[in-house]
Amino acid sequence: MAVWRLVGSTKECLLPMPHAAGRKVSVRLGYPSNGVCEWRWHEAAAQLSVSIPERYNARIFIIDHHDSQ
């Protein structure tokens, strides 16, 4: 998933992912691998929160679904 921050003062966004509800999910930063940002998967809400501190930056996340069957 690509996430970018262009202009504005908001550093954090909340990305709903209803297709991942009820599934185990792992999220890791794919590019740049050493990029400055914070992210958290909210399992109960099936949402990913991402905070990118600097404007005009983007990140690519790798999201894996692990079915529990």
Which pTM does this prediction carry?
0.84
Tokens representing 49 are 């929160």
Range list of β-strands (E), the chain: 2-5, 12-16, 24-31, 38-42, 47-51, 57-66
pLDDT tens-digit profile, the chain (69 residues): 999 999 889 999 999 999 998 889 999 999 998 889 999 999 999 999 999 999 999 999 999 988 654
Other CB atoms within a 10 A radius of the CB of residue 22 amount to 9
